[in-house]
Amino acid sequence: MTTKDLPVDPSITIRAATQTLIDHVEELTTLDQAIGDGDHGLNMKRGAEAIQARLPDLAGKPLNDMLKAMGMTCMSVIGGSSGPVFGTLLVTLAKELPVQPQAADLASALSASIAALTRLGKAEVGQKTLLDVLDPVRRTLDAGGDDLTARVRQTALDACAATAAMDAIKGRASFLGERALGHVDPGSRSMALIIVAICDTL
């Protein structure tokens, strides 16, 4: 995964990533109904549609500017904890990524994003949150090697599925105790969907 892998127009990737959230709204809602408030799917759809509406204005701008604008949109539009979480992720990536990122740059930027999200939500890897997708993806990017895009894609899917076996330590799901076991974390599923959509455009 290098800059040569990235689409000439980042809008292609952004539209794919946001559209997958819109297309999976029912799945995300069902997942959140099991261990959360049940509003994750609609919240993510609202944010995705708001970002898509901004794409004509963002076209032609540097990727960092687009990421920052999307992050601010998430913070202002997405309800619940998802707005600050996904907004912080995007704003941190915008701050950390160079103009032409390589795989190692993406890994470094994700490390900074994980640290920022840990400060924000006091959550850590292993506590059934989207960090449990971001951290394995970061480690895969950091390792590099052949077929990196395909391995990142599979890592995201596998890491998301693995959250079903984790105890919920943070968020509403933590009140369910053992009843949260067997359920995939909705935020992790959203994160995996986004990563898969990005990889599929490369």
pLDDT at residue 36, rounded to an integer: 80
The model's pTM is 0.90
CATH of domain 3-201: 1.25.40.340
Domain boundaries, the chain: 3-201
Q: What is the 3-state secondary structure (H, E, C) of 111-138?
A: HHHHHHHHHHHCCCCCCCCCHHHHHHHH
CA–CA dist 98, 95 (Å, integer): 8
Is residue 107 a contact partner of residue 96, using CB atoms and an 8 Å limit?
A: no
Give me the average pLDDT of each 10-residue run along the chain (202 residues): 58 96 97 87 97 94 95 94 95 94 93 96 89 97 95 98 82 50 88 97 90
pLDDT digit string (tens) for 103-135? Answer: 899 999 999 999 999 999 888 899 899 999 999
| Best CA proximity match to 90, nearest among 108, 126, 116, 128 | 116
pLDDT at residue 1, rounded to an integer: 57
CA–CA dist 47, 40 (Å, integer): 11
pLDDT digit string (tens) for 74-87? Answer: 999 998 889 999 99
pLDDT at residue 8, rounded to an integer: 58
